[in-house]
Amino acid sequence: MKSGPDLNITDEELVENYKNGNYHSLGTLYERYYKKVYHKCLSFIRRPDEANDIAQDVLMKTLENISSFKGNSKFATWLFAITKNHCITYSRGRRNIYFEDIASYENIAEEMSDLSGRELYEQRELALDDMLYSVREAERQMLVLKYQQNYTIKDLQRELNLSASAIKMRLQRARYKVQKLYEQSDVLAATA
């Protein structure tokens, strides 16, 4: 493990240091977050090589646009909002993501900070992501399309080439499985 003066500095201080001319701060942020961003991407994509490429892309583009980080939320919250949106867009089949609207991710993070306990929210979101990825891939895909990407039943019919009744039944079964995992989760019970 690396040691040095940057280890005791918060992420937000590293951002400020970068803005004040300390370009090594970006390297420290990259080192701190690469594995976390990679694992978040892997939870969406489930292909290690692609998750690696996406994680590097997210970090490089985010760090190139670090000046849009306003500090109204934790850096990690801002970064993971960007990561999640990038992965959702990628999984929809759009390979090119433009970061001109990176400031809008700050708004997402601000809304999240209004919740009672930003850390609680992040912990629950990560636990729910883990639960989602413990069901079969077909079930996960359907839940992600329906509840994260706001597909309608008709959209799902076209996407998955299934009847409306089959879509509804499979969604119900998948929701039931995730709900059971949710009810059994120690993480969520401890934060409730």
pLDDT in tens, 79-116: 888 888 888 778 766 433 333 334 444 444 454 444 44
Would you place residue 70 in the very low, low, confident or very high pLDDT band (cuts 50, 70, 90)? confident
Fold of the CATH domain 7-114: Rna Polymerase Sigma Factor; Chain: A (1.10.1740)
Whether 7-114 and 116-192 share one fold: the answer is: no
Instruction: For domain 116-192, say whether CATH 3.40.50.720 is its number.
Output: no
CA atoms of 174 and 53, how far apart (whole Å): 30
Angle at 75 between CA 104 and CA 131, to 5 degrees: 85
Q: What is the pLDDT of residue 58?
A: 92
Spell out the residues 6+ positions from residue 5 whose beta carbon is closer than 8 angstroms to its own: none
Q: Residues 4-57: pLDDT tens digits? A: 556 689 999 999 999 899 989 989 999 999 999 988 888 777 778 888 999 999
Q: What is the pLDDT of residue 101?
A: 39
Looking up tokens 């849009």, which residue turns up?
A: 68
Name the maximum alpha-carbon separation found in the chain.
Answer: 59
Q: Are 161 and 142 in contact (CB under 8 A)?
A: no
Domain ranges of the chain: 7-114, 116-192
pTM of the model: 0.51
Share of the chain above pLDDT 70, in %: 71
Neighbours of 27 (CB within 10 A): 13
